[in-house]
Amino acid sequence: MVKQILSKTVRSAFGLAARKSPIKTNRFGYPNHIFETVQWLESEFEGKMPSYVQSVKFLPERGIRTVNPSKRIRESDPLLWEWAQNWKPRRRYVVTLNHVRVSGNAVIGPDHAILWQLSYLWNVSPAQHPLLKYPVLPSAVHLPGKSLFLSVDSADNYFHWLLDLLQKLKVLKDCGIDHLSFDHYLVNSQAKEFQRESLKRFGIPGHKIVETGRFLNLSTDILTVPSWAEQSGIFEPEDVQWVRTILMQPEQGRPTEQPKRFFISRKRTRGRNIINFSELETALQKHDVAGVELETLSFSEQIRLFRDANLVVGAHGAGLTNLLFCQPGTKVLELVNHHYACQMYYYLAAVLGLDHHYLVGKTAGSADPVFQDLTLDIGEIRRTLDLWQAGSVPEKKNETAD
């Protein structure tokens, strides 16, 4: 740890000196600019490809959206609503490059330019890319042969790993490329059990995995980069079903002793906790809804838990990513706050045929709306569960807009 801190401090100092110096040099291998728009990644590009571009394969455009946005975001988040109305399916492609480098989530061309469209970061403008702030990189580690770049931003998060990173393998498949044909697989990290186990289920050998968060200057002979399958949090049924089938296959037929009606506890997490949790727990127990702590379960145990579920209750959070493994018709009650209208589980439930509803709680605590704690209307939760238990359908608050 001390060695890593010293290394980062030294590189930062060298980087500051290099930025102030009137003499520019590539001696330390740092990126010196960024291409915000890579023209040859546009399907209509007709110019001459750079010499390091081996090929670009585009998939046919998807015509229409599969699921419309929920009406509730119109009031909760007008900017998100406006974006949702103008949203168009993402153009998917696979690009193969010769003699480029990788640092973290960034792909760096031979001219030391960051290719932004292949190096996207959440809530960061191209000019704010961290590699431009600390530009001096360690000595390059060479990867001979063919490498596959899968890293995405926030891949330490359960949702972004399973439903952003792994779906890039579906893009590769749709372009007719075998994902097992590579010498190296570049991912952010494999420190967490779900990361290692999910890659194993795709047949990717552990000894071929390279962590881009650990090696900050990787030079490659041939680097293949699939695009994202879609904008994060928006799904196409065929993409989701493909990932789901591969991840679930080892679990088929194995019994579980876990409850089939459960509430996802967030006792071990930061933010989005339930302030009146004791009241909620009492109400749920009367409906035979047990509490579960997903943090105590292995990846396989989480898959089996949700595979066999018939009712899932939980505050918005990464644990609901496991809806991916639910059977069609499973009832889902998502607890949300008014200020955070993120739609990913609404979309995921829709493409999987789940019976999704939401309840809005009063917020408190963190100024960041993403992590605000909730006070819930226990009476409304009781009414929803009573209707479900009686075989009735609660009023659909998540109906899509016309």
Domain with CATH 3.40.50 in the chain: 253-389
Helix (H, G, I), strand (E, B) or coil at 141: strand
When pLDDT is averaged across residues 85-99 and rounded to a whole number, the result is 88
At 138 the pLDDT is: 82
From the list 235, 100, 80, 102, the residue with the least C-alpha distance to 170 is 235
Interval 95-122: pLDDT, tens: 999 999 999 899 999 988 999 999 988 8
From the list 187, 227, 229, 232, the residue with the least C-alpha distance to 95 is 227
Residues 6 or more apart whose Cβ sits within 8 Å of residue 357:
331, 332, 333, 334, 384, 394, 396, 397, 398
* Separation CA 385–CA 33 (nearest Å): 56
Q: Which has the higher per-residue pLDDT, 47 or 29?
A: 47
* Separation CA 372–CA 274 (nearest Å): 10
Distances (CA, A) of 317 to 162, 207, 364: 14, 32, 17
Interval 128-160: pLDDT, tens: 888 887 667 888 899 999 999 999 999 999 999
Task: Report whether 335 contacts 361 (CB < 8 A).
Answer: yes
- Whole-prediction pTM: 0.87
At 25 the pLDDT is: 43
CATH number at 253-389: 3.40.50
Task: Report whether 232 contacts 156 (CB < 8 A).
Answer: no
Interval 317-367: pLDDT, tens: 899 999 999 999 999 999 888 777 678 898 899 899 999 888 888 877 666
